[in-house]
Every structure is written in structure tokens, then in C-alpha cells.
Structure 1
Amino acid sequence: GHPLGGDLQGRDLLSRLLIGSQQTLMVGVLATFLGLIGGLVLGTLAGALGGWVDSLVMRAVDVMLSIPSLLLAVSVGVLFSPPNIYTVIVAVAIVQVPIFARLLRGSMLAQRHSDHVLAARSLGVKPGAIVFRHMLPNSLGPVIVQSTLVLAVAIIDAAALSFLGLGNPDDSVPEWGQMLGTSQQVFDSHPNLAFWPAGCIIVVALGFTLMGEALREALDPKNRR
């Protein structure tokens, strides 16, 4: 009745892995979505307005990118007390914001001098309409592809924060990183308690990475020739 055995308290390990997948995927998806929204706002401001706004946003992004992602996530996570699943989501989302912001800003700068944007300006279209109807929709392709790749990193970062004790402290609601952190107490005698959650994290992160690479190749016009 227990294919993978039980944990330290005799609870079924397979059931906890299945429930933990919900928690881990929810954290990864929500963190990536919030990071994408924040990156879209900053990237749109920098790419559309330019000038001092672009310089200010990009300097803030450069500062965030200069800090290792996991260290930044830990620094944000420890600001909240007590730690819970929502603090992990916010911490991981903040780490993802500069990635999307820089990518979108570069795509929008490339769109500013494209033919359809110049044609819209020559016809007297308002700047706001040019940004939201012409520049932004044509700049979202690389950002959407990047979100699938970032999702894998978000899952790993979320598991790392839970492993370090910055996630949900209630072990009745399992999460892969939390299970991995608990298993280190008995790693010498029961290494299987660490093997299964670690394997799940690796497989899921690798799966999203491969999906992102496949999506990038599918949307790249050079690969269609």
C-alpha cells in the first residue's frame, strides 16, 4: 500500500510527493506570472518612453541583476515574518522581474524603428496607441518564450527557499523543497527520503527547460527555413 515507503512520521511518501507537486508548481507558476507582470510594466516604460525613464529603470534592473538570484530571493524572503508560501512567491517573483524587463525593453527598442511603427507615426497615430497596438504586441514573443525557461528556475529557487526554511513551516502541507530539507536529518539511514523529492524537482525543471527550448525553436523564423 506504500510503494515508496513512508516518511519520518509514517506518512505515505508517494501521496506527499503528489500533494507537494501542487504546491511547487503553484509557487513556480504564480511567481513567474507576477515577475512577468512586473517586467512588462518596467520594460514597457523603458522601451516606450526612453530618455531618463529608460536610464532610471535600467540602472535599477542592473543593480538587481548584479545580485545572484538565490541570494536576492533569500534576502527578500527573510524580510517577511513568519515565512509562508506567499513570501516564497513574492521573493521568487522579484528575482524574475529584471529578466523580463530587460528582454522586453530590448525588443521594444528594436520595434521603435521598424517600418510599421514609422508608418503609424507618419499617419498621426497617438503615441499611446503606437506603444500598445504596434510595439508591445510585436515584442511579446521572446518574453513569452523566456517565461517558460524562467519557470524552471522559479521552481528551483522556490524549492531552495523551502529547503532553507523560508517557506511554509507547516509540514502537514508538503512541498518538495521542504521535504528535501526535512530528509537531511536522516540522510545516512534513509537516503530515499531525499532522492524522490530531489528527483521530482530535477525532472520538472528539466521538462520546462526543454519545453522552452522547443518553443523558442518553433517560433524562430531561422529554424523554419
Structure 2
Amino acid sequence: MLVGSRQTLIVGVMATLGGLAGGLILGTLAGAFGGWVDAFVMRVVDVMLSLPSLLLAFSIAAMAQRPSQWTVITAIAIVNIPIFARLLRGSMLAQRHSDHVLAARALGVKPSAIVFRHMLPNALGPVIVQATLVLATAIIDAAALSFLGLGNPDDRAPEWGQMLGMAQQYLSDHPHLAVYPAICIIIVALGFTLMGESLREALDPKTRR
């Protein structure tokens, strides 16, 4: 169980970081440039969001010739990119008309400096909070893909979803082999979700007392 937790957390964290990196790039492009760049990026994001996340991740992971841990990480990271991109784009659009950005433009600051020094740092708060919530869903999606046989096939590197899949043939005689990994997945996902909600309340000035 402990070794499986390591693999599960590695997949969840790496997939979340990959989706965050891709979302930062697309969201920054859409929020900073606007116009046709914003329209093109958002249409791509809309197409990705129109597909069920698990189905899209399953399709991407199934395209790999040999299933491995990295195929799961890549699939889940691609699925999470539009979530971060849309959120960051909305935050940056709100920053474009803020007083400090207008003051920087009036002083003749370069557009690149306005984007990376004034707009982007002030728009990252909601994205960081969303990353903790996405981490919970990434762990569940990783377990689902491993359960379906698209994860690492090596038994020497167990993962909770893989353990659930292998426990099916022993379910009638040894049900605890499936119960324990399932409980661990639920507890870890719930823990990151509660942490994300607490972080959102802590960073949101409207919820402070």
C-alpha cells in the first residue's frame, strides 16, 4: 500500500504540473494578446472541454504503443490543460483593466513587462487553488486508467488503480485486496479537495472575517 501510494502521488502530481504548465502557456497567450489569438485558443479549449475528461484521457493513453506510467501522466496532463487555460485567461482579462495595469501603460512600460510583472503574478491565485482541486481528480483519473490496464504493467511498481484491477479475480475470496486501495484513493482525493477549498477561502478576501 505504501509503495502504491508513492506511484499514485507521483502520477497525480506530475500530471497536475504538466496540465498547469500547458494551461499557463495557453491562458497567458489568450489573456495577454486577445483578438484572434484569444479566439483561436478558446475554441481549442472549448473542443477539449466538450469531451468527457476520462474518455479523452482514455483515448490519448490508448494511442501509446506500450502502456506505461508516462502515458497516464501525459494523458491526464493534456486533459487538465483547458481547465487551467480558461481560468487563467479569465483572471488575466480581469487584470487588463485594473488600475495598476493602466498606470503601467501610462508610464510607457513595455507590454511584455506588463504581462509578466503585473498581470500574470496577480492572476495566479485562483490557478494555484484550482491546482489542488485538479490534483484530486488527477489521482482518481490515474487510478481509473491503471484499473483499465493503461498504466504501468510492471507489478514491481504497484499503483492503487492497478491493485484494484488485479484484485478483481480474488474479490470473492479476498475482498480486502480491493477495499484497501479504494479507501486510500477516496481519502487522498477527499483530502486534496478539502485542502483546495480551505486554500480558496484563505486566499479569497471576500470569505475572510
TM-score tier after normalising by the smaller chain length: over 0.9
Confirm whether residue 87 of structure 1 aligns to residue 59 of structure 2.
no
SS at match of 1:165: coil
| Deviation of 1:171 (Å) | 1.2
Confirm whether residue 222 of structure 1 aligns to residue 206 of structure 2.
yes
Please, what is the CA RMSD of the aligned residues?
0.5
Confirm whether residue 182 of structure 1 aligns to residue 159 of structure 2.
no
Aligned with 1:131 (options 111, 115, 119): 115
Question: 2: CA distance between counterparts of 1:54 and 1:194?
Answer: 46
Confirm whether residue 52 of structure 1 aligns to residue 36 of structure 2.
yes
Instruction: Kindly name which structure, 1 or 2, has the bigger radius of gyration based on alpha carbons.
Output: 1
| Deviation of 1:223 (Å) | 1.5
The aligned runs of 1:156-171 (5 Å cut-off) are 156-171=140-155
| Deviation of 1:222 (Å) | 1.2
**2:12 counterpart residue number:** 28
- For residue 62 of structure 1, what is the amino acid of its counterpart? D
Confirm whether residue 148 of structure 1 aligns to residue 121 of structure 2.
no
Aligned with 2:181 (options 197, 203, 207): 197
Question: 1: CA distance between counterparts of 2:165 and 2:187?
Answer: 18
Aligned with 2:83 (options 71, 75, 99): 99
**2:24 counterpart residue number:** 40
Aligned with 1:70 (options 54, 66, 74): 54
Higher deviation after alignment, 150-159 or 186-195: 186-195
TM-score by length of 2: 0.99
Of all paired residues, the percent bearing the same amino acid is 77
Count of residue correspondences: 209
Name structure 1 gaps, 5 residues minimum: 1-16
Aligned with 1:120 (options 94, 104, 117): 104
Question: 2: CA distance between counterparts of 1:142 and 1:181?
Answer: 35
| Deviation of 1:154 (Å) | 0.3
Name structure 2 gaps, 5 residues minimum: none
